[in-house]
């Protein structure tokens, strides 16, 4: 008789786990509290605009992305390498001559960092190019800030580029994230591209779901407790299983884990429609001024026209970590920042996401499959077990399913 397999969580890890269960001949059931797949990777539609829940990008160099996704079908739209830096009333482009040699002179004369800093950026990129992700995570690591300082970067380039750029990725301002995560992400940006699917980040999960043909989905079903051979839903329903893969926050569901609360970094992201693009390019803008509530912003409709109705512009603004501000305050700050009083911003939506990124103390690229098993019947999955990335979520889903299959 076929094993009864339940997967809790219809995010990336759960969907990848289901794929491997299907490949082994099983018919798993995925349960999720929300109304559709996606987990933390969702895109809402509002008045013809596409609003990702929190600013997110797909890094094309991720090994697991290349393994599981049909990249051409996603119709990825790339951000230009580099960034626009806003600092002390001025703005500059920080360009990447490694991708486009025509930008070499612009990069050299940019006021972001010294010539020595720019040489060190190149040297770090070359060093990481020849270092495997496994080795990056195996190295002992201090904080990102200490690593940057020890590598010899000046305080100017740290404050004007590294802090706002990686604060937007790590969702913390102090750059206290272990440097192994910084080196991994820096390597991914250096060797691939930051992109978004033309029709929103949720297309990633929609594609993973579309590949499943033997999986049953139960949406709008909240799990309240997971015991050794069955789970209980919030409505009191009992569902028996032979094996369960928990691809969501598990500490509140499994009695033995209660009290071991997973910590997260949160984010606050606002969307505005605008009468024109304040960037006029598919770039990420970073704000280095500590007294400005904005950490970064971009114009998704400059990257993919599908993010906004024809003739309209969508602006995405991410605030500094642990910062909240009203839409009016944010809009005024952005108008002042870009020095365009004729920029008209209409607030569309705000997303406060308290559990945007898991805080992982012991970062790892992967762990032995047996370490995903909580008991003989209960298996864990999710990026919180490895490192906070889409790549890790996919890898954990495969490893969890393989443990079940073996």
Question: 340: domain CATH number?
Answer: 3.90.660.50
Is the same domain home to 283 and 299?
yes
Is the same domain home to 86 and 214?
no
282 has which bridge partners? Answer: none
Is the same domain home to 182 and 304?
yes
For the cut 80, the answer to whether the pLDDT of residue 1 exceeds it is no
**Contact criterion met (CB below 8 Å) for 313 and 345:** no
Q: Is residue 72 part of a domain?
A: yes
Is the same domain home to 253 and 132?
no
For the cut 80, the answer to whether the pLDDT of residue 281 exceeds it is yes
From the list 287, 61, 383, the residue with the least C-alpha distance to 195 is 61
Question: What is the CATH classification number for the domain harbouring 16?
Answer: 3.50.50.60
Is the same domain home to 180 and 193?
yes
Q: What is the pLDDT of residues 285-333, one digit of tens each?
A: 999 999 999 999 999 999 999 999 999 999 999 999 999 999 999 999 9
For the cut 60, the answer to whether the pLDDT of residue 180 exceeds it is yes
Inter-residue long-range contacts of 64-72, CB under 8 Å, 24+ positions, other chains counted? 64/16, 64/390, 64/391, 64/392, 64/394, 64/395, 64/398, 65/390, 65/391, 65/394, 67/394, 68/16, 68/19, 68/208, 68/394, 69/204, 69/207, 69/208, 70/207
Is the same domain home to 321 and 352?
yes
Give, in order, the Cα–Cα distances in Å from 85 to each of 54, 145, 186, 283: 21, 19, 18, 10
- Amino acid 139: pLDDT: 83
pLDDT confidence bin for 94, thresholds 50/70/90: confident
Better pLDDT: 88 or 384: 384
Q: Domain range spanning residue 297?
A: 52-197+265-358
| Number of helices (H), then strands (E), in the chain | 14, 20
Q: Is residue 47 part of a domain?
A: no
Better pLDDT: 256 or 144: 144
Whole-structure pTM value: 0.93
Is the same domain home to 248 and 386?
yes
Specify the number of domains making up the chain. 2
Q: What is the pLDDT of residues 225-256, one digit of tens each?
A: 999 999 999 999 999 999 999 999 888 899 88
Is the same domain home to 29 and 66?
no
pLDDT more than 90, % of the chain: 83
Is the same domain home to 192 and 271?
yes
Q: Is residue 77 part of a domain?
A: yes
Is the same domain home to 381 and 370?
yes
Q: What is the pLDDT of residues 206-218, one digit of tens each?
A: 999 999 999 999 9
For the cut 60, the answer to whether the pLDDT of residue 57 exceeds it is yes
pLDDT confidence bin for 2, thresholds 50/70/90: confident
- Amino acid 111: pLDDT: 61
Is the same domain home to 171 and 280?
yes
For the cut 90, the answer to whether the pLDDT of residue 258 exceeds it is no
For the cut 50, the answer to whether the pLDDT of residue 344 exceeds it is yes
Task: Say how many residues make up the chain.
Answer: 406
Q: Is residue 46 part of a domain?
A: no
């Amino acid at each position: 008789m076929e094993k009864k397999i339940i997967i809790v969580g219809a995010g990336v890890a759960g969907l990848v786990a289901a794929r491997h269960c299907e490949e082994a001949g099983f018919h798993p059931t995925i349960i999720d509290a929300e109304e559709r797949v996606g987990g933390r990777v969702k895109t809402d539609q509002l008045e013809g605009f596409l609003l990702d829940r929190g600013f997110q990008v797909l890094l094309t160099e991720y090994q697991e992305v290349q393994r599981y996704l049909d990249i051409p079908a996603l119709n990825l739209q790339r951000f230009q390498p580099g960034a626009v830096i806003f600092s002390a009333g001025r703005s500059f482009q920080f360009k990447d001559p490694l991708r486009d040699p025509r930008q070499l002179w612009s990069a050299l004369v940019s006021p972001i960092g010294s010539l020595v800093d720019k040489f060190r950026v190149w040297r770090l990129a070359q060093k990481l190019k020849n270092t495997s992700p496994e080795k990056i995570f195996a190295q002992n690591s201090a904080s990102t800030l200490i690593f940057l300082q020890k590598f010899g970067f000046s305080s100017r380039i740290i404050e004007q580029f590294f802090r706002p750029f990686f604060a937007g990725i790590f969702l913390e301002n102090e750059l206290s994230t272990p440097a192994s995560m910084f080196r991994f992400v820096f390597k991914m940006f250096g060797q691939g591209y930051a992109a978004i699917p033309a029709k929103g980040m949720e297309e990633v999960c929609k594609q993973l779901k579309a590949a499943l043909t033997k999986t049953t989905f139960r949406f709008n079903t909240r799990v309240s407790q997971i015991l050794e051979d069955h789970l209980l839903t919030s409505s009191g329903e009992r569902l028996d299983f032979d094996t369960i893969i928990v691809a969501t926050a598990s500490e509140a569901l499994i009695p033995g884990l209660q009290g071991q609360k997973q910590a997260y970094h949160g984010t606050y992201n606002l969307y505005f429609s605008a009468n024109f693009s304040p960037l006029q390019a598919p770039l990420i803008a970073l704000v280095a001024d500590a007294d400005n509530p904005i950490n970064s912003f971009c114009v998704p409709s400059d990257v993919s026209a599908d993010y906004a109705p024809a003739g309209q512009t969508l602006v995405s603004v991410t605030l500094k970590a642990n910062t909240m501000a009203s839409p009016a305050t944010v809009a005024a700050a952005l108008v002042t920042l870009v020095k365009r009083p004729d920029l008209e911003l209409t607030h569309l939506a705000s997303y406060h996401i308290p559990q945007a990124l898991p805080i992982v103390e012991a970062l790892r690229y992967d762990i032995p499959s047996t370490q995903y098993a909580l008991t003989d019947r209960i298996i864990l999955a999710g990026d919180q077990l490895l490192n906070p990335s889409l790549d890790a979520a996919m890898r954990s889903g495969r490893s969890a399913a393989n443990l079940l299959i073996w």
